A and B are shown apart, each in its own frame.
Chain A
Amino acid sequence: MANLFKANLLRKSYKVSNNPFKERHLEVLKGASFSINPGQTLAVVGESGSGKSTLARLLVGAEKPDSGQLFFNGENILEDKKFPWYKEIRMVFQNPRTSFNPRATIAQILAEPLLNAKNDNRIQIQQKIRQALELVGLRSEYAERYPHTFSGGQRQRIAIARALMLNPKVIVADEPVSALDVSVQAQIINLLLDLQEELQLAYVFISHDLGLVQHFSDKVLVMHKGVQEEYGPVNQVFSQPQSPYTQKLLAASAGYKKAVKD
């Protein structure tokens, strides 16, 4: 059986000079590959600038890779111009303060994907908004309020509700908890885990918190300067890291933990 979501050697470079005679490109992603199935979590770890967020943008269709393939249910979705990315593969942003239109109510924000999908009438949309808010542990009365009246954790719940509006199969979360307090981080992670169990979601979870990744994910993809250093089941990678970079990363994390304990 084909995997639900599979990436094969994704590459991406950006133009860094506007001079038409001297074009310079910076390759930020040099071939990332992975596959995940429903109910599984893939963690993408690496330091800042390693290409994690670029990978996230490629996976949700915000940008197109230079080369490589992306398969959803066995179908090459980069070839398919009509593939409805926003119905199947959704994103949760890192910063819940900037990812909402400041002049839209929560109801308008959550209705946006439904309105674009054009499948529901107004009453159905309202019902789905209520259900989605309850699903992420918020009161349905919140729908009429504006994003800036919520705390960071609540906003990230709303972001998750927005991602779930069209019953997607894959959620790409770009460091969804790194902008939150530690106590709230745990709540959001638990919410994500509950939702995964309930809805059989596949997560691509971008993070630099190795402790979290170990607790949370099935597979891990280690990136360093755009290169895929290591990819495999989380236990294997953490117990027997093959690449020197992964070993260093784990040692640094362990050293940090030890320092904190001492």
Chain B
Amino acid sequence: MNYAKVNGLSMRLKHFKAKPSWLMFSKNNGALFGSIILAAAVLLAIIGPWIAPFDPAQQFSSRSFHPPVWNQGGNFTHFLGTDDLGRDLLSRLLHGARLSLFLAGFIVLIAAGTGVLIGAIAALLPPLLRSILMRIMDLLLSLPSLLLAIAVVAIIGPGLSNAVYAVILVLIPQFVKLTQNSISQELCKDYCIAAKLDGANSIRLLTKHVGPNIVPAVIVQLTFSFSTALLDIAALGFLGLGAQPPLAEWGTMLAESRSYIQYAPWTMALPGLAIFLTILSINLVGDGLRDALDPQLNQ
């Protein structure tokens, strides 16, 4: 065999093959836009409470419904205006960003960890038990996530922590299904049969061989679940089932300003815009990741 030639070929192959996922991702304008917005949101969530001009609960009773800076009568003291009780909206939005993003992240991590673990165990169960478990998951998935979350909150009572439990519970089945499906798909592939014939036991097969190959799918699901969690927490807050009023939470802020939409539209528009932009950016990032990590599109 001509080694030099083979080596030359391999060098060229390396050149062509080097189309890493991040390159695919950065070529996707939507995903790039989404990740910029998301990065800004995360940054604001982290540093927000320090740069917020006021305490989010501080009431300036003489300055209720102070308009934002671009409206007539607005000034830079209350850049985004104030709400019905004279609380500074910018401060409340910044504190709300930390709350919403932190909660959504927490929810998604717990839900993903639990879901992936249950899914992996399900893949190891005998077929009958697995079928029973997966049908239960199907049942949970067949209900709209918000409806299920409302039902859970209705049972365990309203409040932010209960809303968090409810959303975690709602998100788990998605991860269980995804993990179990991906694992059983991978297990049929030749490389898994080869690993079994190499003497790998089931635990090693799942952790060393199948695991790395389903990580991309789980990452993509993480981003979509993150946006679901954010939206569901806001929706529960809006319905009065999640975060309770004095707390600066985007959904709760929406609900509080509902009655003043005609008189002071910014009180509702601004929290709505915050929710909208964050969800949009996460979904764009999720789409980008899905396209970049999908091996079939990548080849």
A102 touching B14 by the CB < 8 A rule?
no
Contacts of A150 in B (CB 8 A): 10
Contacts of B200 in A (CB 8 A): 112, 116
Find the B residue at minimum CB distance from A85: B197
B191 touching A61 by the CB < 8 A rule?
no
B194 touching A162 by the CB < 8 A rule?
yes
Contacts of B213 in A (CB 8 A): 101-103
Contacts of B73 in A (CB 8 A): none
Contacts of B191 in A (CB 8 A): 98-102
B197 touching A91 by the CB < 8 A rule?
yes
Find the A residue at minimum CB distance from B191: A101
B194 touching A99 by the CB < 8 A rule?
yes
A99-B191, A99-B194 are known contacts. Are A139 and B209 too (CB-CB below 8 A)? Answer: no
- List which A93-133 residues lie within 8 A (CB) of chain B: 93, 95, 98-104, 112-113, 116-117
A86 touching B190 by the CB < 8 A rule?
no
Bound Cα distance from A162 to B197, whole angstroms: 11
A146-179 CB contact bits vs B (8 Å, 1 = yes)?
Answer: 0011110010000000100000000000000000
Q: Does A208 contact B (CB under 8 A)?
A: no
B190 touching A139 by the CB < 8 A rule?
no
Say whether chain A's binding surface is mostly helix, strand, loop, or mixed.
Answer: loop
A86 touching B198 by the CB < 8 A rule?
yes
Q: Does A224 contact B (CB under 8 A)?
A: no
Q: Does B23 contact A (CB under 8 A)?
A: no
A100 touching B194 by the CB < 8 A rule?
yes
Q: Does A90 contact B (CB under 8 A)?
A: yes
B3 touching A139 by the CB < 8 A rule?
yes
Q: Does B297 contact A (CB under 8 A)?
A: no
CB distance from B196 to the nearest CB of A (A): 7
Q: Does B135 contact A (CB under 8 A)?
A: no
Bound Cα distance from A154 to B197, whole angstroms: 21
Q: Does B27 contact A (CB under 8 A)?
A: no
Contact of B189 among A98, A145, A149 (CB under 8 A): A98
B190 touching A112 by the CB < 8 A rule?
no
Find the B residue at minimum CB distance from A63: B193
Say whether chain B's binding surface is mostly helix, strand, loop, or mixed.
Answer: helix
Bound Cα distance from A143 to B22, whole angstroms: 25
Bound Cα distance from A149 to B11, whole angstroms: 9
Find the B residue at minimum CB distance from A146: B17
CB distance from B2 to the nearest CB of A (A): 11
B203-237 CB contact bits vs A (8 Å, 1 = yes)?
Answer: 01000010011000000000000000000000000
A61 touching B295 by the CB < 8 A rule?
no
Bound Cα distance from A187 to B7, whole angstroms: 18
Contacts of A233 in B (CB 8 A): none
CB distance from A170 to the nearest CB of B (A): 13
Contact of A98 among B9, B190, B197 (CB under 8 A): B190
Contacts of B7 in A (CB 8 A): 139
A60-B197, A61-B197, A84-B199 are known contacts. Are A116 and B190 too (CB-CB below 8 A)? Answer: no
Contacts of A145 in B (CB 8 A): 10
Q: Does A254 contact B (CB under 8 A)?
A: no
CB distance from B34 to the nearest CB of A (A): 26
B82-99 CB contact bits vs A (8 Å, 1 = yes)?
Answer: 000000000000000000
Contacts of B9 in A (CB 8 A): 151
A112 touching B10 by the CB < 8 A rule?
no
A-B contact list, 28 entries, CB within 8 Å: A60-B197, A62-B193, A84-B199, A85-B197, A85-B199, A86-B197, A86-B199, A91-B194, A91-B197, A95-B190, A98-B189, A99-B190, A99-B191, A99-B194, A101-B212, A101-B213, A102-B213, A103-B213, A112-B198, A113-B198, A113-B199, A116-B198, A116-B199, A116-B204, A139-B7, A148-B17, A162-B194, A162-B198
Instruction: Name A's B-contacting residues (CB within 8 A).
Output: 60-62, 84-87, 90-91, 93, 95, 98-104, 112-113, 116-117, 137, 139, 142, 145, 148-151, 154, 162, 187
